[in-house]
Amino acid sequence: MLKKYGLLIWISLLLITGFVSTTLASFVVSRDAIQQGISEQTLPITGDNVYSEIQKDMLRPVFVSSQMAHDTFLRDWIINGEEDKDQVIKYLKEIKTKNHAMSSFLVSEQSHNYYHADGVLKTINENEARDAWFFRVRSMKSDYETNVDADMANRDTMTIFINYRIVDYSGKFIGVTGIGLTLDTMKNLIDSYQSRFHRNIFFVDQKGNIALAGNNMKKIRNNLSNMPGISNLAGQILTNRKSESLHLEYKNDNDTMLVNARFIPELGWHLLVEQETSNEIKPLQNVFLLNMGVSAAITVVLLTIVLLTVRRYQKRLEKSASTDTLTNLLNRQAFDFVFQQALLDSERSRQPMCVVLLDIDFFKKINDKQGHLVGDHVLKEIAMISKRSLRESDIICRWGGEEFLILLKNCTLEKATSIAENLRNTIANNDFSRTTDLTRTRLSITVSMGVAECRDKESEVSVFERADLALYQAKENGRNSVYFSE
């Protein structure tokens, strides 16, 4: 064993030594990098990236609502007296479906009808508290507002509404339109940001109230002033109305928290992104363990590859000694061992066993006229046809040249002759040109076979001679036939 795998053992020792040295060197470099990072560098806040993502995902409802408010169809429909209600209902349903919104709506100043994707919800009333939002938007100077409210059209589900003012061509207020997204949808969106950027992300309104936060923000309170540490920064955050972001920091549980605050005028909210410095340092502290794991994995993989290569090479040597390289069948030497074992099994179990000797008719002519490549193709094709046609327990080998020998276990002479006849017929009906580009015309091949049943105490030579004699009779009597020996 040691002699057989001596080279593999030496390679293993060299790989282990090399990987251990590399891992130790990486650990020293990583340790120095941690020390330098803590003492000389401030971890950057990627608030700009988060803001870009929010512009792409969360501000889309604002843009959609703006397009609805400026849509000439919607304005003309209101101005012309809201005659065909089905038209606007179909329009709102299309907006809702296309933008995957929770709701889409239109409230007309003229009729005070509340239209949504499923029809007319109600007629709003100035004296009803739940309708106060409409009259608030009507008197606003800004074009729209972002409002969190219960959606009457969807079983009072808490929803973020974009309420956008509609004005006619002379600037006169004629209604409110927009779409709504559920708070759960927005929270899931924020959770996806937090998972991707590994930071705490939440929104506060202009009074410091928490307007929106992810589901996993356990530390969040109702207002910035109630949040430990960051409450000291509330004034700076809420007074910022510029598009530039603020980079702040505070202490929380003996850890430094970095804060990126940005006012988003499209929403009227402040975006806050928090980052714990320990989250950045911790991966560096694990570099040593990571390198150890990588080194160990590479070592195992390389050793496995080497071992498999050695074993594969050994198997190839064994296979080349027992297999015909052209047809991948057993060669004559290997068949001798198989036949001797099968003969002993047959005598022990007293089950009949037959051999079939197959010879390709006029094979020399095929080589002479079509070329040796076509001849090789014929040999391989007959080998594949034979394996498909025989039973799993049957054994076939290339006996030599254009001859094949088949061993049929637990098979009487009558049954063996039937099997041989079926194989002969299959080969005769096969078009050998279908599976090769070497010849363009139909190529038909026939074979002759001799069948012999092994007798008690009969030698290998004797049974093969009787099968060969039957094969000779088949050839003498016109070929493409099966003869058997009594």
What pLDDT does residue 34 have?
A: 45
Exposed/middle/buried for residue 21 (C-beta within 10 Å: 0-12, 13-18, 19+): exposed
| Rounded-to-integer distance, Cα 56 and Cα 52, Å | 6
Share of the chain above pLDDT 70, in %: 81
> For residues 475 and 448, is the Cβ–Cβ distance under 8 A?
yes
Question: Is the pLDDT confidence value at 421 over 70?
Answer: yes
| Rounded-to-integer distance, Cα 379 and Cα 358, Å | 12
Question: Is the pLDDT confidence value at 37 over 70?
Answer: no
163-174 mean pLDDT: 93
43-58 mean pLDDT: 60
CA nearest to 158, candidates 210, 208, 105, 103: 103
The owner of tokens 């792409």 is: 56
For residue 461, the one-letter residue type is V
Instruction: Give kind and range of the element (H or E) at residue 477.
Output: none
Exposed/middle/buried for residue 183 (C-beta within 10 Å: 0-12, 13-18, 19+): middle
What pLDDT does residue 315 have?
A: 64
Q: pLDDT per residue over 444-464, tens digit each? A: 999 999 999 998 888 888 999
The model's confidence at residue 320, banded by pLDDT at 50, 70 and 90, is low
Higher pLDDT, 151 or 82: 82
| Rounded-to-integer distance, Cα 176 and Cα 162, Å | 10
> For residues 157 and 182, is the Cβ–Cβ distance under 8 A?
yes
109-116 mean pLDDT: 93
List of residues 6+ apart from 433 with CB closer than 8 A: 439, 440, 441, 442, 443
The model's confidence at residue 217, banded by pLDDT at 50, 70 and 90, is low
> For residues 298 and 94, is the Cβ–Cβ distance under 8 A?
no
Spell out the alpha helix ranges (H) of 323-459: 332-349, 363-370, 372-389, 413-428
Q: Please state the three-class secondary structure of 125-156 as a single string.
A: CCCCHHHHHHHHHHCCCCCEEEEEEEEHHHCC
Q: pLDDT per residue over 275-304, tens digit each? A: 776 666 566 566 667 766 777 777 777 777
Structure-block tokens of residue 173: 């207020």
Structure-block tokens of residue 13: 């020792």
* Start-to-end C-alpha separation, the chain: 52
Q: pLDDT per residue over 203-214, tens digit each? A: 888 888 887 787
What pLDDT does residue 227 have?
A: 83
What pLDDT does residue 123 have?
A: 92
Weakest mean pLDDT among 51-65, 227-241, 342-356, 388-402? 51-65
Q: pLDDT per residue over 424-443, tens digit each? A: 999 999 998 888 888 888 89
List of residues 6+ apart from 177 with CB closer than 8 A: 65, 68, 69, 74, 104, 105, 106, 107, 164, 166
Q: pLDDT per residue over 2-19, tens digit each? A: 555 666 677 777 767 776
Structure-block tokens of residue 193: 């940001």
Q: Which residues on neighbouring strands pair with residue 249, listed in sequence order?
A: 258
Average per-residue pLDDT for the chain: 82
For residue 242, the one-letter residue type is K
